[in-house]
Amino acid sequence: MEETPQRVMSFIFACTDSSQDECLKRMLFGTSKQYGALAIRVKKGDSLFLLNLDTDLLYGVFRATSDWKLNIEPDAWKGNYPYQVRVEALGEVVTIAKAKSLLKGMGITGLSVIGKKGTLKLLEFFRPYNKPAKEWQESLFRMKGNKEATILGQRNWEFLGKIEKLTDDIEEVPQLQATTLWDFPRQSYGKTPKGDNKYAGVTPAELIWNLVWRYTEPNDLVVDPMCGSGTTLDVCKEEGRKAICYDISPPNGRKDILKNDARKIPLEKDSVDLIFVDSPYGDNIRYNDEHANIGNISSESKTFYDELEKVISECHRILRTGKVLGWLIGDQWVKKRFTPVGFEVYNRLCKYFDTVEIICIPRRGQYSHTGFWFNRARRLNFYLRGYKYLFVMRKPQEGKKQTIEERKVSWTFNDRDKNAKNKEEQT
């Protein structure tokens, strides 16, 4: 008897009443870029399910007949869901009612990668009544798929099996941040580490993930000229982007990080789709013994910003027009003197780029985040650094850099008196 395949994973795709028929007619599942990070993890042979958000019905079981691809059928869903995968139905399609409560009870969300144990538990709700679980699952994985979906009547999952939370068998894909405050309690995400969380000044991996998914597409080229322990490289590998990462002193064991000084990047002009820089904030951290390291220069000196501007100029040269640079930087307060490092760097960036956004990144995992230092800051009347800036900058067309000029904006104002009156009438 053929054994269960080595990779057993499953994914939930969503649809609505307006898109369900097209999914089943084309035997094609798709999603938008918002959930693209989930879709790119689908491989041929994975189990798939379709959740109708309007009717709260879950359809299964389907199998991916292709790895995910962009725009397998570009005209599907009027082009709104380009992250696509071809599917086939495994036997007759079973319909599970009240699906949202089932998935919630199992701990499955629209961003869940469901592992082997969780997949087998979810499949149990779709098993024919007259077949033992093990026998049916083994036959399912070797079953020939159907190119058309024959839909059976609805089932109530409450009578089919006990819900178990799949805490240890679900990997949650990150979600795009919606505000200008990006708070990441952990340095990495997922089941594989990104970078080294013990590296001095290591970047939160989810920060890079958000830049990658907002401003690039799969196979775009991402460059990090000061990549430290390799967080950018590890994120890009997992998210389907090409990456070239440099450091003036690459860590031992990372042959995929190229030795290079960021003030002269060996890449062609207009060749890169996204750049991320987490630069030194001054000489407050001992990164390495490289004499030429900009991190050996005090941020209280003009030289520090002159040297960083050389990096900024190189980033501008290699970045494609219209593409984005993300620059992470923090301020300094030492020995009763505050240095607005972020503002100084931002002013240099503005010589070359237009501003897309300024993000606040809370600082976590610092040695100063202790009761001793909090007490000291209160007693001696100073502030510990609580956040960093993430400057998101876009390379403008030549000669078309943004300038401050008045424009007419059609605002939609909230009628507070009317809203208050409506609320009063409802109560």
Let me know whether 218 and 144 are in one domain.
no
CATH number of the domain to which 311 belongs = 3.40.50.150
Confidence of residue 356 (pLDDT cuts 50, 70, 90): very high
d(CA 180, CA 177): 8
- Which of these, 324, 136, 299, 340, lies nearest to 221 by C-alpha position? 324
pLDDT at 414 over 80: no
41/163 same-domain check: yes
Confidence check: pLDDT of 4 > 70: no
Whether residue 149 sits in one domain with residue 271: no
pLDDT at residue 233 tops 60: yes
The answer on 85 and 214 residing in a single domain is no
What is the residue range of 135's domain?
10-172
Residues 235 and 375 in one domain: yes
Q: Which of 56-70, 258-272, 375-389 has the lowest mean pLDDT?
A: 375-389
d(CA 173, CA 109): 10
Contacts of 350 (CB under 8 A, 6+ apart): 393
Asked if residue 416 is part of any domain, the answer here is no
**222 assigned to some structural domain:** yes
Report if residue 152 sits inside a domain.
yes
Tell whether 222 and 353 lie within a shared domain: yes
Model confidence over 327-350: pLDDT tens digits?
999 999 988 899 999 999 999 999
Residue 410 in any domain: the answer is no
Check which CATH number belongs to the domain holding 36 and give it.
3.10.590
134 and 209 assigned to the same domain: no
Mean pLDDT confidence for 8-34: 95
Residues 257-312 pLDDT 10s: 999 999 999 999 999 999 999 999 887 777 777 788 888 999 999 999 999 999 99
Assess whether 149 and 252 both reside in one domain. Answer: no
Q: Buried b vs exposed e over 243-257: b needs ≥16 C-beta within 10 Å? A: bbbbbbebeeebeeb
Query: What is the C-alpha to C-alpha distance for residues 348 and 315, in angstroms, rounded to an integer?
Result: 12
Contact indicator for 389, 361 with CB cutoff of 8 Å: yes
Give residue 160's pLDDT band: very low, low, confident or very high (50, 70, 90): low
> Structural domain tally of the chain?
2
Q: Are residues 151 and 233 in the same domain?
A: no
Q: What is the mean pLDDT of residues 166-195?
A: 90
State whether 68 and 161 are in the same domain.
yes
Q: Which residues lie closer than 8 Å to 147 by C-beta, 6 or more apart?
A: 27, 88, 89
In a domain? residue 96: yes
Lowest mean pLDDT, pick from 4-8, 265-269, 308-312, 356-360: 4-8
1 DSSP 8-state letter: -
**Residue 413 maps to a domain:** no
pLDDT > 90? residue 46: yes
Q: What integer pLDDT is reported at residue 41 of this predicted model?
A: 96
What are the tokens at 200? 């001095």
Q: Does one domain contain both 39 and 107?
A: yes
- List Cβ neighbours of 54 (8 Å cut-off, separation of 6 or more): 16, 17
Based on the fold, state whether residues 86 and 133 are members of the same structural domain: yes
Q: Which of 181-185, 237-241, 249-253, 351-355 has the lowest mean pLDDT?
A: 249-253
